[in-house]
């Protein structure tokens, strides 16, 4: 049996990005709550409460980012890498819940529109656009291939979009006097964000239950391994994500030692799996043809797949 641990991971350090994002958003929450109270704006006060949950989301993502780097020990042999997947799932749930609440409140306000202090709303919301857009930019680089970082990015990008919608609504209100415009734009933005966040929710839930990562095709992995001449069969193939960045594989490989020595075969297998499928933690059990036949006859010990 052989283990392969390739450490070609992304080493971007996000500790400073999380700290800056949390401080910026916490400061904005205080500003928005103060001016919302001064202007008597329920919209700004409600958005301040929503932005406070964003600070919690960033703290959660940061904690998971740190936990994923805790070394393995005798109690947790894989460390706490799974925390990054859990955080991305919770972040997706928080975004979806916040947007559902915003959509519901928007529907209520469409039915009963009321005057707003547009100038104050626009000024505070414009600050929010800058704060949230800057925070989102801090996480943009690796948001495409790390679900935890993507969750933080989407959270901040969603808030930037909501704040921009408030600015546009305020401008249209001052121009046309439409009482309903704020609520309609709020509903549209919330539905767009729900649509954009659904994939994060689906992917993170899938990985929580040890699903095959989206970018890896199980049939393609089987084809890659079986294409090696010395490999006659394989079984008990499992692929899952240890974190939002690291993926693992275990497999039993039936091989013909006359065609290729075991060490050369293992090198071949590891190269194929890492280079083609970005698998970092690989465990291969080599079995002779005679041993594989024994597995077929004794299903209690070997479960063929």
Global pTM?
0.72
CA 151 to chain centre: 5
The domains located in the chain, with CATH, are 2-208 (1.20.1510.10), 218-297 (3.30.70.1350)
**Triad 112, 117, 122: Cα angle to 5°:** 110
- In angstroms, what CA-CA distances link 287 with 67, 128, 278, 298, 302? 37, 60, 25, 15, 12
Per-residue pLDDT tens listing for the chain (305 residues): 555 554 444 445 677 888 888 888 888 888 878 876 776 555 666 667 667 777 877 887 788 777 777 777 788 777 787 888 888 888 788 878 877 887 887 788 788 776 767 788 788 888 888 988 988 888 887 777 777 788 788 878 888 887 887 788 788 888 887 777 777 777 777 787 788 788 888 988 998 898 998 889 999 999 989 988 889 888 889 999 888 778 899 999 998 888 888 888 898 888 888 888 888 889 999 888 777 666 655 554 554 44
């Amino acid at each position: 049996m052989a283990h392969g641990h390739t450490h070609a991971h992304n080493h971007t350090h996000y500790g400073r990005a999380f700290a800056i994002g949390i401080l910026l958003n916490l400061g904005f929450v205080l500003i928005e709550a103060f001016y919302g109270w001064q202007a008597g704006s329920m919209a700004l006060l409600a958005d301040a409460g929503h932005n406070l949950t964003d600070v919690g989301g960033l703290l959660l993502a940061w904690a998971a980012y740190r936990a994923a780097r805790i070394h393995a020990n005798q109690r947790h042999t894989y460390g706490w890498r799974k925390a990054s997947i859990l955080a991305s799932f919770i972040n997706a749930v928080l975004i979806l819940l916040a947007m559902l609440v915003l959509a519901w409140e928007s529907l209520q306000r469409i039915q009963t529109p009321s005057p707003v202090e547009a100038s104050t709303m626009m000024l505070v919301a414009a600050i929010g656009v800058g704060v949230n857009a800057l925070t989102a930019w801090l996480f943009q680089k690796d948001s495409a291939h790390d679900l935890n970082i993507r969750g933080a990015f989407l959270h901040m990008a969603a808030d930037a979009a909501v704040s921009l919608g408030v600015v546009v609504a305020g401008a249209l209100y001052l121009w046309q006097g439409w009482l309903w415009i704020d609520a309609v734009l709020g509903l549209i933005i919330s539905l767009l964000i729900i649509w954009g966040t659904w994939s994060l929710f689906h992917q993170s839930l899938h990985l929580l239950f040890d699903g095959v990562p989206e970018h890896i095709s199980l049939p393609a992995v089987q084809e890659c391994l079986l294409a090696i001449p010395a490999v006659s069969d394989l079984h008990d193939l499992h692929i899952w994500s240890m974190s939002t960045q690291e993926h693992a594989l275990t497999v039993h490989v039936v091989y013909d030692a006359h065609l290729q020595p075991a060490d050369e075969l293992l090198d071949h297998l590891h190269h194929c799996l890492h280079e083609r499928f970005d698998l970092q933690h690989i465990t291969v059990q080599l079995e002779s043809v005679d041993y594989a036949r024994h597995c077929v006859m004794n299903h209690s010990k070997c479960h063929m797949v």
